[in-house]
């Protein structure tokens, strides 16, 4: 029972996109122009942290090169990590994090929601009242990115038992049905756009 939950948690957390979405120091939505060889990215809005100014994105290629073979423009999420020297460095691009992918809007919504979640263990309320936002997502969302982010977030807070409470015991039909809702699309470029 516990091993199936750990497999789901490790799968969600092991997806590089989910990990970047939860751990990046800065998350920016950018407009990217590409000519088949070079990309130019301009930060349009910062999703995380709130109220931060859009950073300079010179030298950043947020659209995977395999997706940017033809000239065009796209929106892309850029995940940035602060180096020990204090500068921002882009994490690797993911095809699902561009508007070339049909689920891009769902990803943006999921990242915006998940990055607003707060630590809850310090609230003086009964255990069943903790993690209410994540419980709601697990119970009602049809967004696989948001579901995967909720599972990974709860796991990172040592609150993975919430997944059992909401999705049912591992191995049950209910649990398998819920886990299927959290399956992410493949990380490859759409063939036609």
pLDDT tens, position by position, 156-193? 998 889 999 999 988 899 999 999 999 999 888 876 44
The total domain count for the chain is: 1
**Residues contacting residue 48 through CB under 8 Å, at least 6 positions apart:** 24, 26, 27, 111, 115
Closest residue by Cα to residue 40 from 30, 28, 26: 30
Q: What burial class does residue 35 get, using C-beta atoms within 10 Å of its C-beta: 0-12 exposed, 13-18 middle, 19+ buried?
A: exposed
Is residue 193 a part of any domain in this protein?
no
Question: Global pTM?
Answer: 0.86
Is residue 186 a part of any domain in this protein?
no
**13-47 confidence digits (pLDDT tens):** 469 999 999 999 999 999 999 887 889 999 999 99
What's the mean per-residue pLDDT of the chain?
87
Is residue 188 a part of any domain in this protein?
no
More confident residue, 192 or 60: 60
Is residue 142 a part of any domain in this protein?
yes
Q: Are 131 and 154 in contact (CB under 8 A)?
A: yes
Is residue 22 a part of any domain in this protein?
yes
Is residue 130 a part of any domain in this protein?
yes
Helix (H) or strand (E) holding 134: helix 132-140
Is residue 173 a part of any domain in this protein?
yes
Is residue 66 a part of any domain in this protein?
yes
Parent domain of 24? 2-181
């Amino acid at each position: 029972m516990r091993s199936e939950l750990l497999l789901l948690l490790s799968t969600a957390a092991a997806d590089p996109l989910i990990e970047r979405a939860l751990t990046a120091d800065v998350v920016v939505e950018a407009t990217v122009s590409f000519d088949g060889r070079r990309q130019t990215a301009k930060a349009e809005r910062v999703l995380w942290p709130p109220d931060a100014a859009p950073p300079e994105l010179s030298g950043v290629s947020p659209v995977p090169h395999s997706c940017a073979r033809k000239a065009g423009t796209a929106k892309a999420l850029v995940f940035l990590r602060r180096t020990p020297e204090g500068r921002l460095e882009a994490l690797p691009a993911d095809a699902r994090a561009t508007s070339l992918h049909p689920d891009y809007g769902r990803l943006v919504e999921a990242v915006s929601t998940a990055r607003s979640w707060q630590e809850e263990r310090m609230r003086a309320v009964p255990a069943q009242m903790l993690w209410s936002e994540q419980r709601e997502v697990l119970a009602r969302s049809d967004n696989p990115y948001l579901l995967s982010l909720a599972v990974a977030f709860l796991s990172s807070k040592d609150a993975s038992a919430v997944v059992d409470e909401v999705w049912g015991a591992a191995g049950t039909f209910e649990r398998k049905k819920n886990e299927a809702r959290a399956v992410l699309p493949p990380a490859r470029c759409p063939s036609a756009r």
